[in-house]
Amino acid sequence: MNLFLSQIAAIVWKDFVTELKTRELFSAMFIFALLVMLIFIFSVNLSIVKASEVGPGILWVAFLFSGTLGLNRSFVLEKENGCLMGLMLVPADRTVIYFGKLISNFVFLTIMELFILPLFMIFFNIDLIEHLLPLLLVIFLGTLGFCALGTLLSSLASNLKTREIMLPILLYPLLVPIVIGVVRMTGQILAGEPLSEMMNWIGLTASFDIIYIGVSIMTIDHILEE
Amino acid sequence: MVDNPKPSDFAIEVRQLRKDFGVLKAVDGVSFDLKRGEFLSVFGPNGAGKTTLIKILTGLTRPSSGTARVAGYEVEEGRSEMRREIGVISHSPALYADLTPMENLVFFGKMYGLEHPQESALAGLEDVGLAARRHDRVRTFSRGMLQRLSIARAVLHDPSILFLDEPFTGLDIHASNVLKEHLQTLHNNKRTILMTTHDVSCGLEMCDKVALQVMGRFAFFKDIKDVDKENFETMYFDAVRNNQFTMGIRSH
Amino acid sequence: MSPDVVEEKEEESNALVWLTGFALLAAMIAIFIYVPTERKEGLIQRIMYFHVPCAWLSFFAFFVVFICSILFLWKKDREWDIYAHASAEIGVVFCSLVLITGPIWARPVWGAWWVWDARLTSTLILWIIYVSYLMLRAQSDAGSMRARYAAVLGIVGFLNIPFIHFSVLWWRTFHPQSKVITNEGIGKGMDPSMLATLGISLCAFTLLYFLLMGERVRQEKLKDEIDRLKREKLYSS
């Protein structure tokens, strides 16, 4: 068990050291998320539409698009030089690789989201501070679900010739439930509704997270096989 | 809980190993034994299933049928104990290009659960003569240096069995001479080595046993003493030529 | 395969062809001649007898993909991979038919080609998921990798269905549309003759599924066989 955790930690450490050196991933994700938000702001007339109504959707589209960029990148790094094969040879369960990549994907995306939130606040003139805690819970649930399924599918897509194209095509339709859920919840939170009003959505996204982490644990063996 | 394997003279025991899927037969009924400390070179044309054989023996993929024991462990069980006993060097170095050699080896040391990853990494780098460049990025390394670093990675956890998949691919003469020296040292240290290669002269020079794999089968498996080198070369090139005709069929 | 077995199989599939043919004919007669025209919606309502069986069939086909995918990962037998592939293709075809007949029916009845009704939306997402499944198969080379990846997607995709269902359902309830008519609403208080027609049609389509499935699986196996023969021929020469 101890080795299991320290192996996961080693993978996360390795991803962080790589990122600190190259600073490729974070800056790309951040700028891309910013661009997505801007493009939506230009395409929606904010003087007609209420910012609090379109805001949550735009915010999450920015998160998911830039998150996909991160997912694509994270397994490309592993495929380069055949590193993934090296990882598969170490005396570790395949789930170690899955959890290691899941955690580093999750942490990168969350950090990026925390940087985007203040900008969102400024651009849309929405006060997030008073709803911060429930908002963070929703972001946690949504990001976890995205990364749970995203890590599984990006490990799969990384072996395809057309991985950059196939990942979003495989991933987005499966993410529809979680996108609807988090956008709806974010909207309600910004409208000042308490969390107890949206227990059904919380249940849906939480069970989505749990089921897809479970499915990944069960199927990752079959994907990480040469 | 872990039942220790019965001690055996053999490092690798393979019986009727098969890997097929539908009509594709990558490995088709291979059987052989390799004693501890022996060096086996497997020759074969492209697509003969050499890489698949190594992938099965290292637990990267499952055989369809047959059994293989490596270091006394059933390969199919995918035991961690078995993976501790093996090291793999292939034509791709399996090193992170953006990390330094030191960071790479420390990372793999941690993954193998070594007690002192830092010290082991440094010792490994010294063995392959890369200690001076331990803080440069791997991306800046030449092909030959990568291959040496890749040796250091593969023997970091002191495995008793080494698998080499086309290690000479893409190396210049100097680099492949250095590689040969390293292999010789590893072999002298009583490590079992299984190497696949195209390079007939390199392969025959060091080995104790020779095999020729064609269309997934071992067409030839002999002690080096009983091999007539020139004859073998002719046979090998015949196999390669015949193979040209059958290649296109693998993909629909 | 011995010649006896081949003959027996051919007889079996012949019987299925005839049975399916008769069932479809009976369904056509029931739909266009026997069943009375619905009073409110008129002639267009008859499209239901295609629409509903298509929806049932695609859902059933995707369920078969799910089961075969699990069996494949368990047994690693190419047979299950073929079944999953064939069933996904049939499912996508009939899912497309649902998405085509839906708007044709909706236009005169609801006054719009497309309404973001829970059921239609779910079907659309389902269609995209299984089209991406087929794309994944087309993108990877034949072999165990393709089969394993497709199986994982077959499982992940089917498990998504309850999530899609509830999320889309709750999504709509926040913007209630006055003109949304669910299939249950129509189904309620249906005339026995309409129910019977729907039943016949459902049976006919289910038989059609098995017929198509058998043909598609046979085709895929022949492909494998040709490959094998080609290899053997070249190897021996």
Instruction: For residue A144, give Cα distances in angstroms to A64, A69, A128, C172.
Output: 12, 16, 21, 25
Min mean pLDDT across A65-69, A164-168, B19-23, B62-66 is at: B19-23
- CA angle A125-A131-A137, nearest 5°? 120
pTM assigned to the model: 0.89
Residues A158, B223: Cα–Cα separation, whole Å: 42
How many angstroms separate the CA of residue A92 from the nearest CA in chain B? 6
Between the two ends of chain C, the Cα-to-Cα distance in Å is 24
Q: Could you tell me which residue, B24 or B159, shows the higher pLDDT?
A: B159
pLDDT at A52: 79
Neighbours of chain A (3+ CB pairs under 8 A): B, C
CA triple C30-C34-C37, angle to 5 deg: 105
Confidence of residue C1 (pLDDT cuts 50, 70, 90): very low
Helical pair A163-190 and C118-139, crossing angle rounded to 10 deg: 150
DSSP string, B89-144: EESS----TTS-HHHHHHHHHHHTT-S-HHHHHHHHHHHTT-GGGTTS-GGG--HH
d(CA B35, CA B233): 25
**Neighbouring chains to B with at least 3 Cβ pairs closer than 8 Å:** A, C
- Cβ distance B107 to A13 less than 8 Å, yes or no, reads yes
Quick one: average pLDDT of A12-21?
94
ipTM, 2 decimals?
0.91
Helices A199-223/A163-190 angle, 10° precision: 160
Instruction: Out of A169, A174, A201, name the one closest to residue C156 (CB).
Output: A174
- Give how many domains chain B has, as a whole number: 1
pLDDT value of position C177: 43
The answer to whether residue C2 scores a pLDDT higher than 70 is no
Q: Tally the domains of chain C.
A: 1
Taking an 8 Å cut-off on Cβ atoms, the answer to whether C230 and B249 are in contact is yes
Work out the average pLDDT over C204-215. 93
**Residue A10 pLDDT class (50, 70, 90 cuts):** very high
Which residue type occupies B208? D
pLDDT of residue A6: 93
Gap between the Cα atoms of C158 and C146, Å rounded: 18
- Tens digit of pLDDT for each residue in C150-204? 999 999 999 999 999 889 888 875 444 433 344 445 545 567 788 888 889 999 9
Of B24, B62, B249, the CB nearest to C234: B249
Tokens 């199919």 correspond to: B76
Share above pLDDT 70 across residues of chain A, in percent, rounded to a whole number: 100
Q: Which chains touch C (3 or more CB pairs under 8 A)?
A: A, B
The per-residue pLDDT for C6 is 56
Residue A195 pLDDT: 87
Which of these, C214, C79, C228, lies nearest to B252 by C-alpha position? C228
pLDDT at position B249, please?
Answer: 45
Q: What is the pLDDT of residue B250?
A: 43
Spatial separation of the C-alpha atoms in residues A162 and A177, rounded to whole Å: 26
Interchain proximity A174–C160, CB inside 8 Å: yes
Cα A203 to Cα B214: distance, rounded to the nearest angstrom: 57
Minimal C-alpha gap between A163 and chain B (Å): 20
8 Å CB contact of A82 and B153:
no
What residues does B20 pair with on adjacent strands?
Answer: B25
* Interface contact C125-A173, CB threshold 8 A: yes
Scanning B44-103 for CB atoms below 8 A from A yields 55, 58-62, 80-81, 83-84, 86, 88, 90, 92-99, 103
Q: Which domain holds residue B107?
A: 10-53+66-249
Chain segment B196-248, per-residue pLDDT in tens: 988 787 778 888 889 888 888 888 888 888 888 888 888 888 877 776 555 44
Q: Which residues of C touch A (CB under 8 A)?
A: 73, 125, 128-129, 132, 135-136, 139-140, 145, 148-149, 151-153, 155-157, 159-160, 163-164, 166-168, 170-171, 174
- Supply the pLDDT for residue C90: 96
The domain in which residue A139 lies consists of 2-223
- CATH code where residue B88 lies: 3.40.50.300
Sequential DSSP letters for A188-223: HHHTT--GGGGHHHHHHHHHHHHHHHHHHHHHHHHH
Please report the pLDDT score of residue C108 as a whole number: 84
How many structural domains does chain A have? 1
Indicate the average pLDDT of chain A.
Answer: 92
- Give the per-residue pLDDT at B75: 86
Q: Which helix (H) or strand (E) holds A75?
A: helix A51-79
Is the distance from CB of B172 to CB of B66 less than 8 angstroms? no
Please give the DSSP secondary-structure letter assigned to residue B4.
P
Q: How far apart are CA B50 and CA C126, in angstroms?
A: 42
Question: Is the pLDDT at C107 greater than 60, yes or no?
Answer: yes
Q: What is the reported pLDDT for C176?
A: 40
C204: closest CA of chain A, how far (Å): 31
pLDDT at C190: 67
Q: How confident is the model at residue B45 (pLDDT cuts 50, 70, 90)?
A: confident
The Cα C123–Cα C183 span in angstroms is 13
Report d(CA B200, CA B43) in Å as an integer. 8
Q: What is the pLDDT of residue C106?
A: 83
B64 touches chain C (CB under 8 A): yes
Per-residue model confidence as pLDDT tens digits over A103-153? 999 999 999 999 999 999 998 888 888 889 999 999 999 999 999 999 999
Query: How high does pLDDT run on average in chain B?
Result: 85
**Helix pair angle (C78-110, C118-139), 10° resolution:** 150
Distance (Å) from the C-alpha of residue A21 to the closest C-alpha of chain C? 33
pLDDT at residue A15 in the model: 94
Q: What is the mean pLDDT of residues B189-195?
A: 90
B153 or C182, greater pLDDT: B153
User: CB–CB of B249 and C224 under 8 A?
Assistant: no
A199-217 tens-digit pLDDT: 899 999 999 999 999 999 9
Distance from CA of A189 to the nearest CA of C (A): 15
Name the band, by pLDDT with cuts 50, 70 and 90, for residue A37.
Answer: very high
Question: What pLDDT sits at residue B252?
Answer: 35
Residue B60 lies in a domain: no
The per-residue pLDDT for B245 is 53
Q: Domain range spanning residue C154?
A: 3-236
Report yes or no: C150 at the B interface, CB cutoff 8 Å.
no
B23 CB neighbours in chain C (<8 A) are 224-225, 227-228, 231
- Helical axes A132-157 vs A94-124, angle rounded to 10°: 130
Question: Chains B and C: how many Cβ contacts under 8 Å?
Answer: 33
Q: Is the Cβ pair C142, B249 closer than 8 Å?
A: no
Residues in chain A closer than 8 A to C156 (CB atoms): 149, 152-153, 174, 212, 215, 219
Look up residue A195 and give its two tokens: 């969390």
Q: Among the listed ranges B203-217, C38-52, C61-75, C117-131, which one has the minimum average pLDDT value? A: C38-52
Q: Are C43 and C217 in contact (CB under 8 A)?
A: no
